[in-house]
Amino acid sequence: MGEFELIRRYFLPLAGRQKPRSLILGPGDDCAIQRIPSGRDLVFSVDTLVEGVHFPRNYRPDHLGWRALAVAASDLAAMGADPECFTLALTLPVVDELWLEGFACGLKSASDAFGLELAGGDTTSGPLTLSLQVHGTVEQGSGIRRSGARPGDLIAVSGTLGNAGAALDYLPDPNPSADMLAVLEHYHRPWPRLDLARAVRQYANAAIDISDGLLADLGHILAASEVGGRVESARLPLSPALTRLKGDMAVDYALRSGDDYELCLCFSPENWERAPESLKSQLTVIGFVEAEPGLYLDGVDCRLEAVPAGFDHFRRHS
Amino acid sequence: MGEFELIRRYFLPLAGRQKPRSLILGPGDDCAIQRIPSGRDLVFSVDTLVEGVHFPRNYRPDHLGWRALAVAASDLAAMGADPECFTLALTLPVVDELWLEGFACGLKSASDAFGLELAGGDTTSGPLTLSLQVHGTVEQGSGIRRSGARPGDLIAVSGTLGNAGAALDYLPDPNPSADMLAVLEHYHRPWPRLDLARAVRQYANAAIDISDGLLADLGHILAASEVGGRVESARLPLSPALTRLKGDMAVDYALRSGDDYELCLCFSPENWERAPESLKSQLTVIGFVEAEPGLYLDGVDCRLEAVPAGFDHFRRHS
């Protein structure tokens, strides 16, 4: 199968479904063309996934398709952006139609779920690698940045933490228990918090998606905002499945694993007060921001831990 | 060296130099933010280069940095777009500072030369692979598409063709001759035709950059425009160095190799007449468009040749 046939068969069905279309020209020309509505800014981010590094070898292609777009879309959520479209740079070792069907199917589910239309891409031969760039828009001046946290802000997180990190231990298990399946679902099918992020953007001072672990990512907010923070481990939201599987270690997963793609947000107490209950019910306050730099967990400074040790993306799933 | 230090040292110097900046927010947050001037559209394209497939193993990193951005920027030229910024998804097997210095240096030269500012990216561990997405803008409705060729149009190309393709034969040569160096320069330091493209966009009906070879890429214009074309091989612009090196085979290189990143354009005879000499002197008319589908070279139909055989990007430089 040629490259053009491959694109036509598997990837063109992901283009041209969004209404109203911001894409003036989709896949098939030298470039795609997008019209940004007046009064809005383009917001974009690229994420790469490498086989054996960011996902295991022989990982199910439908899970990979979903996960790749979810991981990228999570950065749009972290800015409070409205999703628009994405490009796919796909490097494949061989043209395996069964694999491509599964991959395109998972990608299409995610594309539909997140409202991201395929705008273009590049298909090349080589070790299995994916780079997805997502495009969204925000009202001019309204993107939530990492640098907006202020002393006194409450620190909150969405959902429950640590599930996808724990799931890595169970990926090879041929007969996973119900609890294992519950945490595995977080790994295979993460849901970027796009809806929550849009609802929260008028209230939050700062946001980041938790891709490297709570301590590391909260550390990025504190560094960018030139402030410090205190977190209480007893407040961390944990799923019952994670608690049953990992016992006392559950908190460590919640602090250090990031594959759930939940959000970490900072709110002034006044804005937190004003925010609707429907929104606050999706969040858990885990600590607060203070002027003095440092990141204290249960009173112990763990700033050094918050900086990923070395080249973090060298962490391997082999 | 950590990922953050790596980005700070080598890649942040490529951000924030463009004036006036369309980038509202550059590298360092979850997303970059770009403001598209009112009345303009965003134009974007992604290109992947894989070691051993799109460039040889142990290829000089400064050449790679230049080449990667040039290849991507060439798609902006093919739309007649004004360059704005780019993202870099870089997958590296090891953190080699000498390599990174060379790579960043070549990338910076290209970034300065083409007016493309670094907006963001992702740095990961794995087999050496680069995906660069370039962003440009065009006046709304003014991007040159592949589909605009009309019967009677003149077909023209920029520069000379076949040099970079011939250069592949001389890459391993430890003592290249002056002619070899001349064609190697086209391979190592291609210049996307951004200035020419902007000057030409009010005259051209259709455009493509020659990345897969003249026959293949002209074939894409003809297919998208639902027309046919005739090309005379005697009219193909060849460099003296290529002619001396390859003799009668020079024409084959000009027809089938694409790494020069020249433009192929279609003009109505009236627009060609109106276009200034300063512009026409950079172009060579090689044939014309006709209503009947087909691509005739010296009267012989070579449409089948124009379709890349199979998965074209499997072509390897090993």
Binary contact (A46, B131; C-beta < 8 A): yes
Tallying the residues shown for chain A, one arrives at 318
Tokens of A117: 């239309």
Which chain B residues contact residue A139 at CB under 8 A? none
- Domain B3-139 matching CATH 3.40.1050.10: the answer reads no
What DSSP designation does B7 have?
I
* B312 vs A163, residue with greater confidence: A163
Burial of B305 (0-12, 13-18, 19+ CB in 10 A): middle
Q: Is the pLDDT of residue B178 over 70?
A: yes
Q: Determine the angle formed by the axes of helices B61-79 and B178-188, rounding to 10 degrees.
A: 60
Q: Is the pLDDT of residue B165 over 60?
A: yes
Q: Across the beta sheet with B117-125, what order do the strands follow?
A: A23-25, A32-34, B40-50, B129-139, B82-92, B117-125
Best CATH choice for the domain A146-308 from the list 2.60.40.420, 3.30.70.920, 3.40.50.1220, 3.90.650.10? 3.90.650.10
Which residue intervals of chain B bear CATH 3.90.650.10? 146-307
Binary contact (B41, A47; C-beta < 8 A): no
Which residue intervals of chain B bear CATH 3.30.1330.10? 3-139
How many angstroms separate the CA atoms of A310 and A313, rounded?
9
The predicted complex's ipTM stands at 0.91
Torsion, Cα of B163, B168, B174, B176 (10° steps): -20
Residue of B259, B310, B48 whose CA lies nearest to A132? B48
Residue with structure tokens 């800015």? A79
Best CATH choice for the domain B146-307 from the list 3.40.50.620, 3.90.650.10, 3.50.30.30, 3.40.640.10? 3.90.650.10
What DSSP designation does A27 have?
B
Which residues, other chains included, contact A234 with Cβ-Cβ below 8 Å and sequence gap of 6+? Answer: A298
Q: Is the pLDDT of residue B21 over 80?
A: no
Measured in Å, how far apart are chain B's first and last C-alpha atoms? 30
The whole-number pLDDT of residue A141 equals 87
Contact between A34 and A85 (Cβ < 8 Å): yes
Tokens of A70: 């979810």
User: How do the pLDDT tens digits run along chain A, 318 residues long?
Assistant: 777 788 888 888 888 665 557 888 989 899 999 999 999 999 999 999 999 999 999 999 999 999 999 999 999 999 999 999 999 999 999 999 999 999 999 999 999 999 999 999 999 999 999 999 999 999 998 889 999 999 999 999 999 999 999 999 999 899 999 999 999 999 999 999 999 999 999 999 999 999 999 999 999 999 999 999 999 999 999 999 999 999 999 999 999 988 889 999 999 999 999 999 999 999 999 999 999 999 999 999 886 554 443 334 433 343
A·B CB contacts under 8 A: 222
Residue with structure tokens 């030409």? B200
The whole-number pLDDT of residue B223 equals 94
Tokens of A63: 């899970």
How many angstroms separate the CA atoms of B105 and B318, rounded?
25
The whole-number pLDDT of residue A303 equals 66
Which range has the worst mean pLDDT, A40-54, B125-139, B304-318? B304-318
Which residue intervals of chain A bear CATH 3.30.1330.10? 3-23+32-139
Q: What are phi and psi of B163, to 5 degrees?
A: -65, -50
Binary contact (B46, A133; C-beta < 8 A): yes
pLDDT tens per residue, range B189-233 = 999 999 999 999 999 999 999 999 999 999 999 999 999 999 999
The whole-number pLDDT of residue A267 equals 98
Q: What are phi and psi of B58, to 5 degrees?
A: 60, 30
Mean pLDDT value across residues B10-32: 81
Which chain B residues contact residue A307 at CB under 8 A? 2, 4
Q: What are phi and psi of A239, to 5 degrees?
A: -80, 150
The whole-number pLDDT of residue A20 equals 58
Three-state SS at B142: coil
The whole-number pLDDT of residue B308 equals 44
Which residue intervals of chain A bear CATH 3.90.650.10? 146-308
Q: Is the pLDDT of residue B307 over 50?
A: no
Residue of B272, B256, B262, B266 whose CA lies nearest to B290? B266
CATH class of the domain comprising A3-23+32-139: alpha beta
Binary contact (A120, B41; C-beta < 8 A): no
The whole-number pLDDT of residue B303 equals 66
B247 Cα to chain A: minimum distance (Å): 32
